[in-house]
Amino acid sequence: MSIRVLKTLIAVADHGTFSAASEAVFVTHAAVSQQMKALESNWDVVIFDRSKRTPELTPIGLQLVARAREVVRSYDNIVPSVLGDDGLTGELYLGAVPTTLTALLPLAISALKRCWPKLHIRVVPGLTHELMRQLERGALGAALISRPASLTDAYHWTEIAAEPFELLASMDTVSDDPLHLLEKYPFIRFSREAVVGMQIENWLVEHKVRVSDIMELDGLEAISSMVLSNLGVSIAPRPCVESYNPLPLRRLPLPVNAPVRRLGLISRKDAPKGRVIDEVCRVLLEAVAIGKFAPVFQGEPRA
């Protein structure tokens, strides 16, 4: 048995089929099947129920996958755990919600690269719930997400910013009353599959604000462009880091008891790259303190 075989077993559990797992670990379908049969033979247990069209993990198989994850995480942590600061090399897969991709994250990662040029951050975009699933199965080292409704003790959470929600409207609108604008104009909604979208929906329901949906999108840039085109109004969190060229929109604070998006960095407490995650957290907080994304071009000092 090898770490590579354990990673294959985990891939089968994560992707559901031998075929999908083979693509994830870059071996043939036949090789995956052979590795799994070898595990069953070596351990003298039945890991897969092959009576079904698609083999499924048995109860024992599910327990073995959980232990395999622990073993792989410990293996990946061997070198970083003894190198200290010198362990800030290699790769970190970092999940991030779409609203952070155009200002906060590039500002933070550029600062990180200046300090640790041998460290490579692989950004994986997605909505909070999907990124949490990837974090659970070990596909991500950490994720920058909206705080979920509940978190277990298996995770470490650090709040990066509190972003109050605001109304977005085109410059052609004249009223300063957000409730009036919400009822008068079509509503461009944040996807309700996102934590942010559900926060907005709950606030609208709680305050009995009637809106006329015209579209539902999951990206702040797309929503802002629709509002700029005078297609409707929207509600979105006020970014903790202003973009390089913000669109000319009216941004009105919502009435009292408006929701706040809690943006934070989350990782498993047993994450193998704890030192790297700490550094990511540091540069994210520094980026929020700066507050505006101003890219530094090669040879040009930051103002």
**Residue written as tokens 């770490």?**
3
Identify the structural domains of the chain with CATH numbers, from first to last.
3-76 (1.10.10.10), 86-159+264-290 (3.40.190.10), 162-261 (3.40.190.10)
Most confident of 29-33, 67-71, 167-171, 190-194: 167-171
166-207: pLDDT as tens digits: 999 999 998 999 999 999 999 999 999 999 999 999 999 999
Question: Residues 6 or more apart from 47 whose CB is under 8 A from it?
Answer: 9, 36, 39, 40, 57, 58, 60, 61, 64
Average pLDDT over residues 122-133: 93
Residue 257: exposed, middle, or buried by beta-carbon count in 10 A (0-12, 13-18, 19+)?
Answer: exposed
Please give the sequence-ordered ranges of beta strands (E in DSSP) within 26-89, or none if there are none.
Answer: 48-49, 56-57
Q: Is the pLDDT confidence value at 302 over 60? A: no
The pLDDT of residue 53 is 82
251-260: pLDDT as tens digits: 999 987 889 9
Q: Is the pLDDT confidence value at 86 over 60? A: no
Taking the C-alpha atoms of residue 101 and residue 108, their distance in angstroms, rounded to an integer, is: 10
End-to-end distance of the chain based on CA atoms, in angstroms?
55
Average pLDDT over residues 96-114: 94
The pLDDT of residue 150 is 86
Point out which residues pair with 261 in neighbouring strands. 163
The pLDDT of residue 152 is 86
Which helix (H) or strand (E) element contains residue 228?
A: helix 220-228
What helix, strand, coil percent values describe the chain, rounded to 5? 45, 25, 35
